[in-house]
């Protein structure tokens, strides 16, 4: 089964789909090896990890497309891709969709912020008009090569225009044809209940578990009862790395050794197991003749 078809199948099965954030080949391999059926290429994770930059729209579409291709060269599970605002107007959206789909994305998430955007949980966001976003959704649908490539419409309107506007945008975005809906930065469980009641029977709904983002709920097992289907953990791997790395580095600076940390670390053998090094070396033997 093709990965795009697989993602659709997974969304039709019972339960909530967990999608940890990835940002390179190794993180994607780790997520797949852990048993997850889907991964999420978060724009924030990519900006943080590869460029050391904040999530304020500084990464280009070309850089995201290259990262998709790298990840899909190592991972076989479906990849949901954050394409920010589509990197411009409706024409830019169409080029972005074609590029990201060609690189291997199974689903594309587009938000209604102005361009350049900023992290969905940062203050100072602004959104485009509902009508402009509807046009961009239609442009995205027209541009995709496979109907199984899902278009996820995200609205950031709650923090800008309020909850009622976000609901109205949700209705408009579904009418425009989006496959999945993501109403970002809900303030309460009550808001999530309303979203689930109004939209949960129409399209799969997304919730974002960004540490420090202020999610009204704590765990994905609460989502199904609220009518949600996809749980994103966009920066979990990076948040752990950024928390622990300074401690390890300080220890190396002080002691000149990593010995005290060995139980907390992988070693070369462990890394090679994750990478499948021995399997690759065995393949070489099939092509070697004395």
List all residues 6 or more positions away from 130 whose beta carbon is below 8 Å from its beta carbon: 112, 165, 168, 169, 172
Strand order in the sheet with 107-111: 180-183, 150-155, 107-111, 79-82, 39-41, 17-22, 230-233, 206-208
Count CA within 13 A, CB hemisphere, residue 124: 8
pTM over 0.85: yes
Please report which confidence band the pLDDT of residue 120 belongs to, taking 50, 70 and 90 as the band edges: low
Domain 3-236: CATH superfamily, name plus number: Phosphoenolpyruvate-binding domains (3.20.20.60)
Q: Span 140-144, mean pLDDT? A: 98
Task: Name every residue whose Cβ is closer than 8 Å to that of residue 78 and which is 6 or more positions away in sequence.
Answer: 3, 4, 6, 7, 10, 37, 38, 39, 106, 107
Residue 18 parent element (H or E)? strand 17-22
What is the per-residue pLDDT for 250? Answer: 98
Sequential DSSP letters for 176-198: HT-SEEEE-----HHHHHHHHHH
Q: How confident is the model at residue 290 (pLDDT cuts 50, 70, 90)?
A: low
Q: Which two tokens stand for residue 66?
A: 């290259």
Q: 36-73, pLDDT tens digit by residue?
A: 999 999 999 999 999 999 999 999 999 999 999 999 99
Question: Nearest 10 degrees: CA dihedral of 159, 134, 207, 84?
Answer: -80
DSSP 48-113: HHHH---SSS-S-HHHHHHHHHHHHTT--S-EEEE-TT-SSSHHHHHHHHHHHHHHT-SEEEEE-B
pLDDT in tens, 216-246: 999 999 999 999 999 999 999 999 999 999 9
CA distance 25 to 28: 5
Where do the structural domains in the chain lie, given as residue ranges?
A: 3-236, 242-285
Mean pLDDT in residue range 174-186: 97
Task: Give the integer Cα–Cα distance in Å for 177 and 244.
Answer: 43
């Amino acid at each position: 089964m093709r990965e795009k078809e697989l993602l659709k199948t997974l969304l039709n099965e019972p339960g909530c789909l967990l999608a940890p954030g990835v940002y390179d080949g190794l993180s994607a391999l780790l997520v797949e090896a852990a048993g997850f059926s889907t991964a999420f290429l978060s724009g924030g994770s990519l900006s943080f990890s590869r460029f050391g930059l904040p999530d304020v729209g500084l990464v280009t579409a070309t850089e995201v497309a290259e990262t998709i291709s790298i990840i899909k060269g190592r991972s076989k599970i479906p990849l949901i891709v954050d394409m920010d605002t589509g990197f411009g107007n409706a024409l830019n959206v169409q080029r972005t969709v074609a590029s990201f789909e060609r690189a291997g994305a199974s689903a594309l998430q587009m938000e209604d912020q102005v361009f350049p955007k900023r992290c969905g949980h940062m203050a100072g966001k602004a959104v485009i008009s509902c009508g402009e976003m509807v046009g961009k959704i239609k442009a995205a649908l027209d541009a995709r090569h496979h109907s199984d490539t899902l278009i996820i419409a995200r609205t950031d309107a709650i923090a800008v225009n309020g909850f009622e506007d976000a609901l109205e945008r949700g209705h408009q975005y579904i009418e425009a044809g989006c496959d999945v809906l993501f109403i970002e930065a809900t303030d309460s469980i009550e808001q999530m209940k309303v979203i689930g009641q109004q939209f949960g029977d129409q399209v799969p709904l997304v919730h974002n578990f960004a540490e420090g983002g202020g999610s009204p709920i704590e765990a994905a097992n609460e989502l199904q009862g609220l009518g949600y289907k996809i749980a994103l953990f966009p920066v979990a791997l990076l948040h752990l790395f950024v928390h622990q790395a300074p401690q390890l580095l300080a220890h190396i600076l002080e002691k000149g050794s990593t010995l005290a940390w060995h139980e907390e670390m992988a070693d070369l053998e462990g890394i090679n197991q994750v990478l499948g090094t021995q399997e690759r070396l065995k393949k070489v033997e099939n092509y070697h003749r004395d």
